[in-house]
Amino acid sequence: MTLADFIVTNAPALLVAIPLFAAFTCPAIGRISAAARNLWVMGAMLVTAAIAFILAFRVFSTGTVIYVFGAAATHLAVPLDSGGIPIRIIFTVDAMSAFMEIICAIVGVSVLLYSMSSESHNSNLEGYYALFLLMITGVFGMVSTGDFFNFFVFLEILSLASAGLIAYRIDGGLAVEAALKYFVLSTLGAILVLFAIGIYYGQYNALNIAMIAQRMQFSMLDKIALVLLVAALAMKCGAVPMHFWTPDAYSMAPSSVTAFLVVASQASLYGLFRVVFTMYNITMNCVTVGWIIIILGVLSMVVGVTMAIPQKDIKRLMAYHAVSQTGYMLLGVGVGLAVLGNATLTSAFGFMAMEGGIFHIFNHAMYKGLLFLTAGAIFYRIGTRDLNKMGGLGHTMKYTMIFFIIGALAIAGIPPFNGFASKLMIYESVYLFNPILAIIAMVVSILTLASFVKVFHSVFMGPQLPEYADVKEAPLPMLIGMGILAAIVILFGLFPQPVVDMLVAPAAHALADQGGYIASVLGGA
Amino acid sequence: MSRIVRTAADIIYPFILIFGLYVVAHGHLTPGGGFQGGAVIATGGALVIVAYSYVEVREWLSGKVLMGQEVIGLVGFIGVALLALAFGQVFFFNYLNASGSLFGIPVPYGINAGELNTGGFVPLMNFSVGCEVWGGLTLVILYMLSGLEKEGC
């Protein structure tokens, strides 16, 4: 077996195994030298990202890939003597999972490159990189796994690693407080998820998502489980009214970590969509649940942006905008869910709304990651996050300013940046569903633009301040990290149609296609 | 603490250690396993810290050794699983099971006394996890109890 065959065959397992191995060996490698450690961590991340792309290519070209851990062969989902139950842990990578893996790989590489220089002055970097790689593992595991208990395990890995990294800059105890808040809420959410898993296991004797979906009865207990899961995962992705941890956690974490926390929140969003589309699908009342998700989305959009406007801390402001943008994804996919049972409406605008929402996940990860990285670059150079103390930085930090403009215009949905492409899809399809929702979405976009104009003006415009006269441009690795994300923001804004056709539409169809998901694990249903 | 407490802790500590190692080693046969056994061993550390003082215990226990224990345990766990890939099998494939070598005896059917030499690589994973939890949890306890003052006996 050649190396290429080996990688293609074992890609789903390697996605988790390589970052785990690199994370565990990181403290030992760090004792050799800092350069060796950086090389080791970066190499592991690049290899993982390459494998994610290989796997995604395979999924998009040949369909869902499953990987059965510990079996005699990778595709033996149901052992012969198990009575038809897939007892092993299975990774089920369909187009939606592959889509999320691409996001995680791109953001992971650029953020890690960025933190090579942004964190270089801090102590205990072995721990930092080990936890960062554990976050990568957590996200890859959450979006790949086809086993619901395994989803819980990766959720916990992700939460613990994130909490550790939020507290990384102790910052007089403020960061520790934010991390504690995040940790308590995450644990609470994880317990709700575990409770729901217990309900499924008690009823259906199965932990595999495909098996639960196949046996789904939508009994009273399933309704309780659905409520628990929607509440817990909506909280983890920062939807209003469970958003209160995001401003603290996002603003106190180092910026590189914040940029990846956005991806981590979206992994929870993925979990939410996986639950409602793959596990329940049309067995439940899609209109009601769809509207609940739409209302969560609209609330997040409006509350997020109105809370963002008065903020004076640049990262807190961006964190509220992250809440607001999550609302768009919930709105788009919620509309898709609300019309799921109705074939004419689904083909008229349901799929387009879902595609818009899913495309927005990708775009949001890119431009919001970029914005947090620029905020981190500003903090790195001037040491404050207070907007009132900034000003005139456009004279010295030119590249950072350009990246900020790209990110700000993208988040406000201005063409030709990628935020415009996905927001337009959401506006058009949601307008057909309910014009008022589309109008709210547009107003929120305008408020977003207003807010970022304010930030741009107070950070970069104006005369050069005497205290920042000798501020230099951010170091090169940080600029490259931001540049990767900025290039994707522009590229996907200029050519959205191929991206939608090649990546987003397959992901949306895979999400809606419950039968296909079940068949890929359990064989012809 | 008083001389009585210290002497009692001295006597009990080896038994806690042995019991913890027993739970780790029999993880594939009895309730418990690597995590539980490692936690039992770490509680022994807590006992010693309470009986003596943080400062004294810090001289006996090196943070670096405990950290190293963590790394060895974690790398051992993932390494055992990765070896399956090296043998051309699926990740986490139990290549030692029923192989006739270490821990490789097929599990006897029916009621039996419990054959320690079974389970394939599951005992190896238990050892790794036990080693990791021993180091990690002891470190956690050390940090948590670092505020304990050396009070008069």
Q: pLDDT for B12-59, tens place per residue?
A: 999 999 999 999 999 988 888 899 999 999 999 889 888 888 888 888
Residue A295: its pLDDT value, please? 94
Q: What is the 3-state secondary structure (H, E, C) of chain B?
A: CCHHHHHHHHHHHHHHHHHHHHHHHCCCCCCCCHHHHHHHHHHHHHHHHHHCCHHHHHHHCCHHHHHHHHHHHHHHHHHHHHHHHHCCCCCCCCCCCCCCCCCCCCCCCCCCCCCCCCCCCHHHHHHHHHHHHHHHHHHHHHHHHHHCCCCCC
| Range of weakest confidence among A282-286, A317-321, A493-497 | A282-286
Biggest CA pair distance of chain A: 76
- Side-chain-facing half-sphere of A196: CA atoms under 13 Å: 27
CA distance B115 to A287: 56
Q: How confident is the model at residue A85 (pLDDT cuts 50, 70, 90)?
A: confident
Mean pLDDT for A394-402 is 90
Q: What per-residue confidence (pLDDT) applies to A159? A: 94
B71 interfacial to chain A (CB closer than 8 Å): yes
- pLDDT at residue A44 greater than cutoff 70: yes
Which residues on chain A are in Cβ contact (under 8 Å) with B79?
Answer: 21
Q: Is the pLDDT of residue B147 over 80?
A: no
Residue A400's pLDDT is what? 92
Instruction: Report the C-alpha gap between A486 and A490 in whole angstroms.
Output: 6
A52-61, A297-306, A388-397, B4-13: range with lowest mean pLDDT: A388-397
Judge whether residue A274 has pLDDT over 90: yes
Contacts of A67 in chain B (CB under 8 A): 90-91
pTM of the shown model = 0.93
> For chain B, which residues make up each domain, given as ranges?
3-147
Average pLDDT over residues A274-292: 90
The predicted model gives A173-198 an average pLDDT of: 93
Q: How would DSSP label each residue in A170-219?
A: -GGGHHHHHHHHHHHHHHHHHHHHHHHHHHHHHHHS--BHHHHHHH----
Query: What would the mean pLDDT of A352-364 be, rounded to a whole number?
Result: 94
d(CA A135, CA A141): 10
In this prediction, residue B111 carries a pLDDT of 85
Q: What angle do helix axes B122-144 and B63-86 make, rounded to 10 degrees?
A: 160
Give mean pLDDT, residues A248-257: 91
**Chain A closest CA to B21's CA: distance in Å?**
23
pLDDT surpasses 70 at A202: yes
> Is any Cβ of chain B less than 8 angstroms from the Cβ of A129?
no
Say yes or no: B14 contacts chain A, CB-CB below 8 A: no
Q: Is the pLDDT of residue A525 over 60?
A: no
Is A524's pLDDT higher than 70? no
- Rounded CA gap, B107 and A230, in Å? 43
Nearest CA in chain B to A5: B88
Cβ–Cβ contact B93 with A under 8 A = yes
Which of A182-186, A287-291, B48-52 shows the lowest mean pLDDT across its residues?
Answer: B48-52
Give whichever of A191-195, A279-283, B138-142 has the largest mean pLDDT: A191-195
To the nearest whole Å, the CA of A71 is away from the closest chain B CA by: 6
**Residue B94 contacts A, CB cutoff 8 Å:** yes
Lowest-pLDDT choice from A81-95, A132-146, A198-212, A322-336: A81-95
Residue A91: DSSP 8-state: E
Chain segment A306-341, per-residue pLDDT in tens: 999 999 999 999 999 999 999 999 999 999 999 988
**Angle between helix A255-273 and A220-236 (nearest 10):** 160
Q: Strand, helix or coil at A40?
A: helix
CA distance A256 to chain B (A): 25
Number of Cβ pairs < 8 A linking chain A and chain B = 52
User: Sorting pLDDT into bands at 50, 70 and 90, what band is B150?
Assistant: low
Average pLDDT value for residue range A196-212: 93
User: What is the nearest CA distance from A516 to chain B, expressed in angstroms?
Assistant: 24
The pLDDT of A442-457, averaged and rounded, is 93
Given a cut of 70, whether residue A501 has pLDDT beyond it is yes
pLDDT at B153 over 60: no
Mutate which of B78, B80, B89, B128 to test chain A, going by most A C-beta atoms within 10 A? B78
Give the whole-number percent of chain B exceeding pLDDT 70.
Answer: 96
Q: Which of B82, B72, B90 is nearest to A91 (CA)?
A: B90
Whether B85 and A25 lie within 8 Å, measured CB to CB: no
**Which of B78, B84, B89 is opposite residue A24, by nearest beta carbon?**
B78
Domain spans of chain A, in order of start: 285-494
Q: pLDDT value at position B152?
A: 47
ipTM over 0.95 threshold? no
Model confidence at B81: pLDDT above 50: yes
